[in-house]
Structure 1
């Protein structure tokens, strides 16, 4: 009888242990807290467009936008946004079938630890940096040129680099840097560190004005944000796609009220005029647009809405 009781006690202990293990195994899994790779594809005629996320960065937009802070804050709250807006940094890869062209490169290490993902997402999207034939830059702020370098080396070893001459003349000038306020000199230093290695190896090809970079991709000056700020027009089989760069930073405010400028603009009045002109053209003609700081993937259409505009993000769809 004693042996039977002992055996029963052991069995009960084993069963209790098993139940405890089962309960442990069914407990909630640890949170992963990472996003899927940041790329999104859409076809434009015969061209393949791949949006690449460099990440997001928090911008204190009530301090940066050139309008009354209370007014900005009111608009942000209507869009369920705080003052520090998580702002996307996007780049765009265009495969024309004969050329692979990257529009902007992200920040790498020049603009905070939450950015610097363009290279990783380019590879996740199925491409290698050495496959890129041409890199075109909308302007030489650090969150657009930083990704030109990787671990102290040229990130796109087989690519020709194209930038508007007005921007290279301005940002690569030590004289201009020394004249700039101390808090702005880092922009020059970042531009020089990113672009000079390409210039030193003969890979930099500045352009002046409206320029065809490769068949189907054209540079169009939109100065104001920087002296040589450029948008890129991509055309295939009658379909058009405009990559705006930094014509807009804060969608919640500037689509409805395009006259609002931002502290990053070197010439706010000219930047505003460039934005107003492109918004009107996009709404009238109905072509696809993309913005470097629109919520990723930052691609959609613009429609007129009273004195302002409404942005309609592209609908998600599979590719055939």
Structure 2
């Protein structure tokens, strides 16, 4: 082997070693999540859960429970305050109607929310395809996604909610009387519903009623004056969307008596939660909630004085 060849071989090996080290260099972290939608079938209906994102909430301060008990509940579930809380909405395709239940927060709570439209499109739908929108209640994390600026985010949709919530949250008189810290809730509701009320596309209903075949509104007043759950049924299968009857899985299933600052009437909200949990456990139907960890679907089983929550098994629609 000549000295010249040996030198060339050394240079070649060095180049290969450098290329190899570059090829196996650490990749940068991506730090994004997969699109937030989950699809399942309910009889003949297609149900798509849409995640609007998450928001960190100081549940140790918001829940009405002894701090030590709350902290112990968090630890049991390997959590600590603030709790990263999902905001979910539910898209129901009945075959004849595309119905969206709740719309997320849009920009009302900062950049970690407001992902619903993006996830709706990722799930294969367009905002223009939504026929009807049913709002559980007019808090901003459920209704602000109705609007995109001063325009309707869902231009072809009819929007519906219980008239008690409309009479309360869309009233300038009530807003004027409200504490300063609460005025933003009224302003948010007015901004969200404005693009629909202005053109006659907001149609409030009065109490429990069937809205389209297979979807019923069921009054569950308390969390807000017109808080509503929605019952979806197809071919003997049932899904009850309980809105904000619960906020914190790690606390309120074990102890349904725990209420939260956000309730307008905590006694009524408590009674509705207890009734909803008991019926779901007795009947065995599926429940969905806005603030259950995504995808927010599961069953309840009675467990002592509380309930065990069993999330849905991951499935691929067939």
Q: Secondary structure at the match of 1:187?
A: helix
Q: Which residue of 2 aligns with 1:229?
A: 227
Q: Which residue of 2 aligns with 1:156?
A: 154
Q: Which residue of 1 aligns with 2:33?
A: 35
Q: 1:136 aligns with which of 134, 137, 141?
A: 134
Tell me the number of residue pairs that the alignment of Structure 1 and Structure 2 aligns: 318
Q: Secondary structure at the match of 2:21?
A: helix
Q: Secondary structure at the match of 1:86?
A: strand
Distance 1:318 1:109 in 2: 32
Q: Which residue of 2 aligns with 1:173?
A: 171
Distance 1:48 1:208 in 2: 27
TM-score (norm 2): 0.98
The answer to whether structure 1 residue 313 and structure 2 residue 311 are counterparts is yes
Task: Note the 1:142-221 alignment, pairs <5 A.
Answer: 142-221=140-219
Task: Note the 1:1-320 alignment, pairs <5 A.
Answer: 4-6=2-4, 8-320=6-318
**Which has the larger displacement, 27-36 or 190-199?**
27-36
TM-score (norm 1): 0.97
Distance 1:166 1:243 in 2: 19
- Structure 2 gap segments, 5+ residues each: none
* Backbone CA RMSD of aligned residues: 1.2
- Structure 1 residues 20-39: Cα deviation after superposition (integer angstroms, max 9, x where no partner): 12111112211111111111
- Structure 1 residues 125-158: Cα deviation after superposition (integer angstroms, max 9, x where no partner): 1111100000000000000011111244211111
Instruction: Report if aligned partners of 2:150, 2:195 keep a CA contact under 8 Å in 1.
Output: no
- State the 1:6 CA deviation: 4.6
- Structure 1 residues 215-273: Cα deviation after superposition (integer angstroms, max 9, x where no partner): 11000110110000000000111111100000000011000100100000010000000
- State the 1:299 CA deviation: 0.4
Distance 2:16 2:39 in 1: 49
